[in-house]
């Protein structure tokens, strides 16, 4: 039986994503009513600049007083797409206190204060959904916390930032340098005027914290995620990657230790074989590769940003939360029962590609190999090229801990025959 009283929705933010949410709510109103079992009504839109023309939105709904809007008491769902920590955090908790469930796209806030927000939602018997916080339109959060709830997830590895993937793909396909590729990304609207959050890995790190927490039933905060940006990646690194049959991607990697006693979460550039599914992810697209005990290997792929893709994820959550409201129920909340420790980056084991500038004379390779052996790092392959008294030495290791590799590099820098360390890059996906 169709409920006739509409469910009222408050929209916080009406930028690129918020305006698309409002548009879809209007143009797809009949479909949403049929899918939810009740009409949904946009009851208010909180913005910072009320004088801006917003096509399709009744000006009477627009307000600058977001606090008053979430305190109204007749609001069923608050959709938060303003981003940042404050005032978003206070507005969300206030919404719970006044009887509303919340749909959010706020990755930074969830990565920093997800546990407190979940606790507030539970205290008031309300929903907190955030599919749009990670990987845009790609259905990922709900499959991880619902579809795979009966499985054991061991590893999540993915490209979760479209800006960085566009830049690295352009460097790979055209031979462009980092700055040239960044300039093109900016001109096309893929990169912000200040791209720091993307290229230094802050955006991906927030998403990694959310993914790790859900996958491993453990609270993982942004501070727990190792982060390394991609601004130092060069055309020479791509040339070396191609010689290995690899490409380079900025990856978010969340994994359970082999003994199952701890987890790690990290973001950094890495070489991956061209045979790996993530290697073929081009342009500004996102993709996440999941490995679990029962389901095996799964890959989720699609547009990871933009107004319409992100709004699609928001609307999917809105439908689910509205259904819960009608049924007087709530969906899954935080699952942190495992409470596994988050290991430091030094414990992470992987392969490495190291490029050294060395003197071109006898005995150099033997000296370098000795240093690797003394630190317990096994060498897989070595390639040396020399000319006019200078040479480059490229070493690819077997799997070793980050701590062991760090010690190796520090010792190499002390050798008189080593002029410098040109680059160090992890090798993943093998």
d(CA 110, CA 189): 26
Active site residue 242: no
Quick one: which H or E segment has residue 203? Answer: helix 202-216
C-alpha dist (Å) from residue 382 to 254, 286, 324, 392: 29, 33, 59, 10
Q: How many other CB atoms are found less than 10 A from the CB of residue 249? A: 27
d(CA 151, CA 296): 10
Which residues are registered as beta bridge partners of 178?
none
Which of 215, 67, 217, 196 is CA-nearest to residue 153? 215
d(CA 71, CA 412): 62
Quick one: which H or E segment has residue 17? Answer: helix 16-27
Which residues are registered as beta bridge partners of 269?
250
Give how far the C-alpha of residue 28 lies from the chain's centroid of Cα atoms, to the nearest Å.
Answer: 29
Q: Active site residue: 8, 107, 170, 207, which one?
A: 207
d(CA 191, CA 163): 6
Query: Is 345 in a helix, a strand, or coil?
Result: helix
Torsion of CA 37, 147, 286, 16, to 10 degrees: 20
Token pair listed for 272? 């991956």
DSSP labels, 302-315 = EE-SSHHHHHHHHH
d(CA 391, CA 360): 5
Contact (CB, 8 A) for 129 and 102:
yes
Buried b (16+ CB within 10 A) or exposed e, 132-170: bbbbbbbebbbbbbeebeeeebbebbbbbbbbbbbbbbb
Contact (CB, 8 A) for 404 and 248:
no
- Give me the active site residues, please: 207
């Amino acid at each position: 039986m169709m409920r006739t009283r509409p469910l009222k929705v408050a929209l916080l933010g009406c930028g690129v994503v918020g305006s698309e949410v409002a548009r879809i709510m209007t143009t797809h109103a009949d479909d949403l009513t049929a899918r939810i079992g009740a009409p949904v009504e946009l009851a208010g839109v909180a913005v910072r600049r009320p004088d801006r023309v917003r096509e399709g939105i009744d000006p009477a709904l627009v307000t600058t007083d977001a606090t008053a809007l979430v305190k109204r008491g007749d609001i069923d769902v608050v959709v938060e797409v303003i981003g940042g920590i404050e005032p978003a955090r206070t507005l969300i908790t206030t919404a719970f206190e006044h009887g509303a469930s919340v749909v959010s796209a706020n990755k930074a806030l969830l990565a920093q204060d997800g546990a407190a927000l979940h606790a507030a939602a539970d205290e008031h018997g309300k929903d907190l959904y955030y599919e749009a916080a990670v990987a845009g339109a790609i259905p990922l959060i709900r499959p991880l916390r619902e579809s795979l709830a009966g499985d054991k997830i061991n590893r999540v590895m993915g490209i979760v930032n479209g800006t960085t993937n566009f830049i690295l793909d352009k460097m790979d396909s055209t031979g462009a340098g980092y700055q040239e590729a960044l300039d093109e990304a900016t001109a096309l609207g893929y990169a912000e005027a200040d791209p720091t959050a993307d290229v230094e890995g802050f955006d991906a790190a927030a998403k990694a914290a959310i993914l790790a927490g859900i996958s491993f039933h453990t609270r993982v905060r942004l501070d727990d995620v190792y982060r390394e940006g991609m601004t130092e990646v060069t055309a020479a690194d791509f040339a070396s990657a191609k010689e290995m049959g690899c490409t380079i991607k900025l990856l978010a990697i969340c994994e359970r230790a082999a003994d199952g006693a701890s987890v790690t979460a990290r973001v950094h550039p890495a070489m991956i074989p061209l045979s790996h599914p993530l290697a073929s992810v081009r342009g500004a697209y996102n993709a996440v590769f999941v490995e679990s005990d029962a389901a095996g290997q799964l890959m989720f792929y699609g547009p990871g940003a933009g107004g319409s893709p992100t709004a699609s994820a928001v609307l999917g959550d809105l439908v689910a939360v509205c259904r819960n409201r009608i049924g007087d129920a709530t969906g899954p909340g935080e699952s942190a029962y495992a409470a596994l420790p988050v290991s430091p980056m030094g414990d992470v084991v992987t392969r490495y590609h190291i490029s050294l500038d060395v003197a071109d004379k006898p005995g150099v390779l033997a000296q370098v190999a000795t240093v690797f052996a003394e630190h317990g790092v096994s060498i897989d392959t070595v390639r040396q090229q020399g000319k006019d008294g200078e040479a480059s030495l490229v070493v690819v290791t077997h799997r070793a801990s980050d701590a062991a590799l760090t010690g190796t590099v520090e010792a190499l820098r002390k050798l008189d025959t080593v002029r410098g360390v040109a680059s160090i890059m992890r090798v993943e996906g093998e």
